[in-house]
Amino acid sequence: MGRQEFRAAGSLAAVFSVRLLGLFMIYPVFAAYAQNLSGSTPYLVGEALGIYGLSQGLLQIPFGLLSDRFGRKPMIVVGLLLFALGSAVAALSTSIGGVIFGRVLQGSGAVGSVILALVADLTTEENRTKAMAMVGITIGGSFMVALVTGPILATFIGVDGIFWLMVGLAMIGIAITEFVVPNPRRVRVHRDAETVPGLMMAVLRNKELLRLDIGIFALHSMLTASFLVVPGLLRGTLDVSTHKDWMVYLPVLLVSIVVMVPAIIVAEKYRRMKGVFVGAVAALLVSQVMLYLGAGNFYVLLAALIIFFSGFNVMEASLPSLITKVAPPDAKGTAMGLYSSLQFLGIFVGGVVGGWANQTGGTTGVFALTAALALLWLLAAATMAQPSYLTTRLLPIGDGPAAEPESLAARLRQVPGVAMAVVIAEEKLAYLKVDSKSFDAAMAASLAGAS
């Protein structure tokens, strides 16, 4: 990437991270904190933890569409202001109802899709995948850093202090947006990065994409439900004092990364994606069964957490990659938009249903729920088709008679390594699905520019 593109991708990744850090820091410390709020019940604690996913999931796509009309930066600023307002409400609240309202406001600042659209505005077609990868790495890194730093910060500033920290992080995000992120020369729809309403039904009818959407929904449902009871287990089984959870999470996450890296290499480089994917889902199921049967045992609990986070990290890396492999070339952004919405709705369902399971069945009730989710997901994953290992390429096209969409698309499909080609004349782009090992990029570029 050029200097300007690297600045754009890096600064927008920073905006993403300051927001996610605050949201994820709450996970390991919220359940114990919320129990002391007035009106608190196990069900309402679950609702408070997961409710931001509802507003986030419902507003993710609308925020992106509004940014096409009103501009990317203004919508990012509006979203971060809503996030800051919700954080302040949660910090000031002494009742569980007040915190729930604050969390709804936090989620209503659904700027993720807008940030990705702005990344697309500020990068060339050749470098967009690299820029998106920077943002993706930021998301995973923010989660792991937050799980470790959340309990540490709660020791010194309390959980309400973390909510106030979120206000500060939102202000930092606004400052980065206004003063560091470059201004795009123009705002336009990018089918590889944004949701196109007209393509939604086609994406929803794609059974393979639907399996992946079910996967991210189940994964984050399990994660959110687990955090309602795991912090209590760390204190009861491992004798970890309040806010010392990081001493467990840090080594567990480090081991899970050691497991994840070779698994992803095997999946991508040696084209064993389905085997690794199904294996990771099976590992998640095993971890939940272990927690259901033996969470009171020191060694079982520790082993189950390592297995869970190993499977979780493999899934977090694999699922977006699979979406890009499976989605039609001109519907990649739409597929990712629906995938992201299902992820947040999974957080909501995990919190609400997990809270109900905790209230009615206690810790074992929660793990019975998460094990059932993992089992259903495993059944869906086992019947998935072998992925194609194709990647999306964007190719600028010239003007003239030779650029007639259907004719050019037909000729591009004859290029070695091209499996699919869609030409969008008004965007002057060809969206290709290619096998990178055999793709003749020079021939494709010659055809696209021959007009």
For the chain, list the domains and their CATH numbers.
Answer: 1-194 (1.20.1250.20), 198-388 (1.20.1250.20), 391-449 (3.30.70.100)
Given a cut of 60, whether residue 401 has pLDDT beyond it is no
Among 58-67, 101-110, 309-318, 400-409, the range scoring the smallest mean pLDDT is 400-409
Span 330-339, pLDDT tens digits: 898 999 999 9
Span 284-314, pLDDT tens digits: 999 999 999 998 899 999 999 999 999 999 9
Helix 96-108 and helix 42-50, axial crossing angle in degrees, nearest 10 = 20
Given a cut of 70, whether residue 167 has pLDDT beyond it is yes
Q: What letters, b where the CB count within 10 A reaches 16 and e where it falls short, cover 305-326?
A: bbbbbbbbbbbbbbbbbbbbbb
- Residue 150: what pLDDT? 94
What's the one-letter identity of residue 77? V
Q: What is the mean pLDDT of residues 57-72?
A: 92
Contact 56/337 with Cβ under 8 angstroms? no
Structure tokens of 211? Answer: 């399996």
Instruction: In whole angstroms, give the CA distance from residue 356 to residue 47.
Output: 9
Structure tokens of 141? Answer: 């890194």
- Residue 451: what pLDDT? 44
Judged by DSSP in three states, 430 sits in: strand
Average pLDDT, the chain: 91
Instruction: In whole angstroms, give the CA distance from residue 357 to residue 335.
Output: 31
Among 18-32, 56-70, 185-199, 406-420, the range scoring the smallest mean pLDDT is 185-199
Q: How confident is the model at residue 400 (pLDDT cuts 50, 70, 90)?
A: low
Span 232-246, pLDDT tens digits: 999 988 888 878 889
